[in-house]
């Protein structure tokens, strides 16, 4: 399954992410490309028993993308910090030039880990900050010993990234919680060759 796109995959419709014992969603009606939903459930099944995935965000409408960008711009001073975390749908994509905002394609998903106590794993905030980079805790651990909670968070991130990438997703290195499949971000960060990718979906 990991690298198998299937014929005509770029025309796949959006599908709702249905909650199961191992996959929860932050809000009802959260949608992703059908093939991405399948991979998400496969990734959840690869977690150790008792762990689950909490899906924070998936496909975004144009208005939804604009609202996300405006909200972050309102509370972040540096423009480059805003653009690194949320694409401005009305401007050129700064991270991977020439690409669509990944969440507009239905191929991007923001996801955190839920622990055996049914609570989000420690340090699971998806608000952009100094420790958002996937390897930030490893880097911090080179400079000083990690606290117990930081070490727990580091292990959780690694578990999440391992489960998701083993099912074909790529991780966006600036955000430990953001994963892509089949879109231009996936092609760029996964080192995949040229070929069709998921484009923007305007309506479900
Ligand atoms: Zn994201």
Residue of 34 and 88 predicted with greater confidence: 34
The helices-and-strands tally (H runs, E runs) of the chain is: 6, 7
Q: How far is the CA of 32 from the centre of ligand 1 (A)?
A: 12
pLDDT at 55: 96
pLDDT attached to residue 174:
92
Task: At 33, list the tokens.
Answer: 């490309």
In 3-state terms, the chain is what percent helix, strand and coil (to 5)?
Answer: 35, 15, 50
CA dihedral 53, 40, 158, 134 (to 10 degrees): -100
Coil vs helix vs strand at 124: coil
CA of 33 to the centre of ligand 1 (A): 15
Q: In angstroms, what is the span from residue 14 Cα to ligand 1's centroid? A: 17
Q: b or e along 167-197 (b: 16 or more beta carbons within 10 Å of the residue's beta carbon)?
A: bbbbbbeebbbbbbbbbbbbbbbbeeeeeeb
CA 85 to centroid of ligand 1, rounded, Å: 8
Average pLDDT over residues 74-96: 73
Domains of the chain with CATH codes: 13-190 (3.30.1380.10)
Rounded to the nearest angstrom, the distance between the alpha carbon of 111 and the centre of ligand 1 is: 8
Give 179 Cα–ligand 1 centroid separation in angstroms: 7
Write out the two tokens for 169.
Answer: 């997703």
From ligand 1's centre to the CA of 125, what distance in Å?
A: 13
The residue whose two tokens read 């479900």 is 204
Ligand 1 center to 183 CA (angstroms): 13
Distance from residue 140's CA to the centre of ligand 1 (Å): 23
Q: How confident is the model at residue 71 (pLDDT cuts 50, 70, 90)?
A: confident
- DSSP track, 43-71: HHHTSPTT-EEEEEE----HHHHHHHHHH
CA 187 to ligand 1 centroid distance, Å: 16
Question: Mind listing the pLDDT tens digit for each residue in 130-181?
Answer: 899 999 999 999 999 999 999 999 999 999 999 999 999 999 999 999 999 9
Angle at 191 between CA 159 and CA 79, to 5 degrees: 80
pLDDT digits (tens, 9 = 90+) for 86-140: 877 777 666 777 778 899 999 999 999 999 988 888 888 887 888 999 999 999 9
Find the 126 Cα to ligand 1 centroid distance in Å.
Answer: 9
When pLDDT is averaged across residues 174-200 and rounded to a whole number, the result is 91
Q: What is this structure's pTM?
A: 0.92
Ligand 1: centre distance to CA 123 (Å): 17
**Distance, CA 59 to ligand 1 centroid (Å)?**
9
């Amino acid at each position: 399954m990991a690298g198998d796109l299937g014929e005509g995959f770029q025309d796949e419709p959006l599908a709702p992410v249905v909650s199961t014992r191992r996959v929860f969603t932050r809000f009802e009606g959260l949608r992703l490309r059908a093939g991405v939903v399948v991979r998400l459930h496969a990734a959840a099944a690869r977690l150790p028993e008792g762990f689950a995935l909490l899906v924070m965000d998936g496909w975004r409408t144009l208005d939804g993308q604009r609202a996300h960008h405006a909200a972050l711009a309102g509370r972040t001073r540096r423009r480059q910090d805003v653009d690194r975390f949320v694409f401005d749908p009305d401007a050129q994509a700064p991270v991977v030039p020439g690409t669509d905002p990944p969440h507009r394609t239905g191929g991007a998903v923001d996801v955190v880990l839920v622990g055996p106590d049914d609570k989000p794993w420690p340090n699971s905030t998806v608000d952009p900050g100094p420790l958002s980079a996937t390897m930030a805790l490893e880097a911090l651990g080179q400079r000083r010993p990690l606290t117990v909670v930081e070490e727990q968070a580091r292990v959780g991130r690694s578990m999440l990234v391992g489960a998701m990438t083993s099912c074909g997703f790529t991780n966006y290195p600036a955000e430990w919680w953001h994963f892509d499949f089949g879109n231009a971000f996936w092609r760029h960060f996964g080192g995949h060759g040229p070929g069709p990718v998921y484009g923007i979906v305007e309506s479900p």
